[in-house]
Amino acid sequence: MTEPVHTWADVDGHLEIDCDVCIIGSGAGGSVLAAGLAAHGHDVVVLEAGGNFTRADFHGDESVAYPRMYQERGARASAEVGITVLQGRTVGGGTTVNWTTCFRTPDRILERWAEVHGVRGWSPSDLAPHFDAVEDRLGIATWDASRANANNKVLLDGCEALGWQVDPLRRNVRGCVNSGQCGTGCPIDAKQGMAITYLADARENGARVYAGARVDTLIVEGDRVAGASVTMHDPTTDQPTGATMTVRARRTVSSAGAINGPALLIRSGLDRAPLGRRTMLHPVVALPALYDRPINGFYGAPQSISSHEFVDRGADRVGYFLETPPLQPMLAASGSTIFGRSQQEFMRQLPNIGVLIALSIDGLVDGDEGGVVTLRNDGRIHLDYPVRPALVEAFRDAHRSMARIALAAGATQVQSTHLDPVVVTSEADIARFDDAPFGLLEHSIFTAHQMGGCAMGDDPARSVVSSELAHHDVDDLYVVDGSVFPTALGVNPSETIYGIAHRAVDILHATL
């Protein structure tokens, strides 16, 4: 029997539930795991802090979508607000609002996890059958370059003109009509996000899903975790309703994602080094440019082309990969640091603006420890992410590369997001980036990929969970999400999380 998604309105007073497996989070990790375990006949409960928003709620209205479906009402940021954190918080997690880009984990990353981070059993061949399965279920396939929007064609044409590696990328869509609204929820369910795929599969097999169910703490009893304590929230206001739940389970799984997952373990008294450390963000710098032709980057698949020309720049330099963002007005404006009439005049040119983004691959260079998640005294999450010299160098080099691509694709003017924007109209101007300041609060920095903080590995001094994803210190607690990555990936992370969760089904099933 298919279970409905239970919401805050379905829970009055206090509800006690027993189950085999309690999964905290309904995103890329939790949903795939829930589907697999429910198919094995296990009694699964999924707790999702965000609301149960579906296609009927998705109108492409940024003013509604970001406060509803992103962390901290869309305002999550690093401690000094230097890095804007785009992170989903809704049924389906980030997969409901992500930009659908799918890559398998690069072999070089999995090999590094084994060689440097003591991770066993996650080789490319171990993961391959799991990637095959999720690609089939989610319709992951190459998006034909002929359907790329003009913003992505800039990346394609510019890289080809420069002789740089560039390819169409793969997306988890079926029947996509290029609305461009991936980031605010797909209005036609073309995106094969978790809510309409694996989470629906789990519900068909009896899994109970609760939306608006925020886990305050894990229930720690002696040396084991016995479930979760929940307060219900109205997701449109994010205020507690007064209702509570206690979920008791044979196994408890944190699939709350990077940042929130480590914070949950800290709240639960399970703080132990290196929890929260080595939080990776794929820090993003963006470079807008003007074209004398329409770009209309607010329509069309946000990402359909990527370049990995600069992912490996040597052992001592931070690599980066190149993609594009959607350009609806709010997101486009959020990348600029100017204000007042000058911003109005900039935004007036929106249909002719293209934007390239460079995502830096953190955690691979010696001394690059990423960021640290802790809790403030008032319970809020504190994300400290220093921009170290190696990252500054990568930001600078990425600006040069993006400017060259834009110029090669016919940009009439490139204008950086610096407080004092760097303007480039020819190759000779690119040297202007040499003296520009790079770092926190000097220009816009984003992250849409939160990883690490709960690393897996066999050495308890350097990891939080084992290679089998079991917590090193307490029994019956597992972590299945992007927080277990020991490093960033160099590709968009959703498919890696799907693959890890798909294999985690076997791991958890064997213990039940």
Partner 1 sequence: MGLTRRQLLKYGAGGAALLALGGIGLSLQRTITRTPRAELAALSEREFSILAAVADRIAPGGDGFPSAWDAHVPEKLDALFATMHPGAVDELKQALALLENAAAGLLLDGRTSTFTGSSGDEQDDILQAWRTSNLQVRRTAFKALNGLIGATYWSSSDVFAAIGYPGPLALNAAADEDPT
DSSP 138: H
Q: What is the per-residue binding string for partner 1 in 241-280, x denoting contact by CB under 8 A?
A: ----------------------------------------
Q: Closest separation between CB of residue 416 and partner 1, Å?
A: 15
Encoding tokens for residue 40? 């094995």
Does 20 contact partner 1 by CB under 8 A? Answer: no
Asked if 306 and 322 touch (Cβ cutoff 8 Å), the reply is: yes
**Least distance in angstroms from the C-beta of 341 to partner 1:** 6
Among 56, 315, 428, 510, binds partner 1 (CB under 8 A): 56
Q: Both tokens of residue 375?
A: 């809790």
Query: Can residue 395 be called a binding residue for partner 1 (CB under 8 A)?
Result: no
Cis before 274 (ω within 30): yes
CB 508 within 8 A of CB 33: yes
Residue 26: CB partners within 8 Å, gap ≥ 6? 34, 46, 48, 91, 92, 93, 194, 195, 199, 209, 211, 255
How many angstroms separate the CA atoms of 15 and 50, rounded? 19
Residue 172 CB, shortest distance to partner 1, in Å, is 18
- Which of 112, 441, 458, 472: binder of partner 1 (CB under 8 A)? 441
Among 376, 428, 435, 510, which residue interacts with partner 1 (rule: CB under 8 A)? Answer: 376
Residue from the set 72, 160, 312, 369 that interacts with partner 1 by CB under 8 A: 72
- CA nearest to 155, candidates 402, 430, 320: 402
* 290 in contact with partner 1 (CB under 8 A): no
Contact 141, 192 (CB under 8 A): no
147 binds partner 1 (CB under 8 A): yes
Q: Which is nearer to partner 1, 124 or 187 (CB)?
A: 187
Between residues 86 and 226, which has the closer beta carbon with respect to partner 1?
86
Six token digits for residue 404: 């060259």
Cα 451 to Cα 233, 280, 370, 403: the distances in Å are 26, 5, 10, 28
Give the chain's length.
512
Q: Which is nearer to partner 1, 284 or 455 (CB)?
A: 284
Report the residue from 30, 36, 74, 106 that binds partner 1 according to the rule CB under 8 A.
74
- State yes or no: residue 240 binds partner 1 (CB under 8 A): no
Q: Which two tokens stand for residue 455?
A: 């690393």
Summarize as ranges the residues that interact with partner 1 (CB under 8 A). Answer: 55-56, 58-63, 66-67, 72-75, 77, 80-82, 84, 147, 149-150, 177-181, 184, 187-188, 237-239, 296, 298-300, 328-330, 332-334, 337, 339-341, 343-344, 347-348, 350-351, 376, 378-380, 419-420, 439, 441
